[in-house]
Amino acid sequence: MTISEVARQIGIQASTIRYYERIGILQPAMRMSGQRRYDNSVLYRLALVERAQRSGFTLDEIRQLFFGFRDGTPISERWRKLSKKKLSELDAMIEQMESMKALLLRIRGCRCHAIEDCGKAVFQNRSANGYYSRKQRALSTQSRAPRRTSR
């Protein structure tokens, strides 16, 4: 198959296929008279790329799926390992989004008339309502500790 035939069957641009070859997601195609030629296996690999992208995997992670494991590692084991990491990332993102949603709902109820009043209320309530992260609290504690001076 030519690159345009592959692109048409998968529903992507030929330039995307060339890009995937350039960044190492697809192995370079055989050439006949200077044109790329593919067998059906490229369709299956591109279907996996599409599924992985829809699942939130980056191109680097997809490259790892294909080439980041020892030879002979079953694809099911590869999916399991990469999915475990991705699910952990998603859980963290969900937690962050829930926190953002709670803040937006709270902000929606703002009754302040002046920017300074609103800023003052936010400033005064931020530590009382747990807006500091552990790291910020640690930094704040460290800044209160006496500093050594070198002589």
Distance of CA 151 to CAs 144, 145, 146, 147, 148, Å? 21, 19, 16, 13, 10
Sequence length of the chain is 151
Give the span between the Cα atoms of 104 and 81, in whole angstroms: 35
Structure token pair of residue 97: 């989004």
Give the span between the Cα atoms of 109 and 103, in whole angstroms: 10
CATH-assigned architecture of domain 3-68: Orthogonal Bundle (1.10)
The tens-digit pLDDT sequence of the chain (151 residues) is 999 999 999 999 999 999 999 999 998 899 999 899 999 999 999 999 999 999 999 999 999 999 999 999 999 999 999 999 999 999 999 999 999 999 899 889 899 999 999 998 888 887 666 655 555 555 555 555 455 444 4
Of 76, 27, 25, nearest to 53 by C-alpha is 25
Domain segments of the chain as ranges? 3-68
pTM (predicted TM-score):
0.69
Of 49, 89, 50, nearest to 66 by C-alpha is 49
Q: Dmax over Cα atoms in the chain, in whole Å?
A: 75
